[in-house]
């Protein structure tokens, strides 16, 4: 996540709730399909590495044959690029990545910073050794932490 030339990010991305994209505080139009929105959210949240086109086509359009799945992926990527511009997607014939060095602000990243003042992203923490149902409860912030997050927002 990097700031734009004015010190503010050019693209603001909200993933909490429904996907919302803003450029210079102006709301961008919604992407055409839920799968395209989900693909963009996935690429943003996993921007640390490139993803194979085959992996993405299988993940999002696994119910279709390979030809149609890859065509749907290409169409979705074209729509994302048309909406965001060239700087946000890094793609070649085999892989795709949301550009981690592009200018954007992400609500999930800000939430993680507030949730852990030490700056360790929630996704990088070693999970506690609780059974699966307890894992979700154990990772939920204590009431006092929630109140401090609310006041910070």
Q: 56-101, pLDDT tens digit by residue?
A: 999 999 999 999 999 999 999 999 999 999 999 999 999 999 999 9
Q: What angle do CA 99, 104, 106 make, to 5 degrees?
A: 105
What does the angle CA 80 – CA 86 – CA 92 come to, to the nearest 5 degrees?
85
Domain boundaries, the chain: 11-105, 107-152
pTM: 0.72
Third-level CATH fold of 11-105: Arc Repressor Mutant, subunit A (1.10.10)
What pLDDT, in 10s, does the model give residues 113-134? Answer: 888 766 565 555 444 443 444 3
């Amino acid at each position: 996540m990097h700031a734009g030339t004015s010190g503010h990010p050019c693209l603001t991305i909200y993933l909490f709730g429904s996907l919302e994209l803003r450029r210079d505080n102006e709301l961008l139009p919604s992407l055409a399909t839920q799968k395209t929105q989900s693909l963009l959210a996935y690429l943003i949240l996993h921007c640390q590495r490139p993803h194979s086109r085959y992996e993405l086509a299988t993940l999002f359009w696994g119910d279709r044959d390979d030809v149609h799945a890859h065509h749907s992926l290409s169409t979705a990527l074209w729509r994302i690029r048309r909406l965001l511009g060239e700087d946000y997607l890094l793609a070649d014939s085999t892989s795709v990545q949301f550009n981690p060095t592009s200018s954007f602000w992400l609500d999930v990243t800000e939430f993680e910073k507030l949730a852990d003042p030490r700056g360790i992203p929630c996704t990088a923490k070693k999970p506690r050794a609780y059974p699966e149902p307890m894992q979700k409860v154990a990772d939920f912030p204590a009431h006092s932490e929630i109140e401090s997050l609310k006041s910070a927002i």
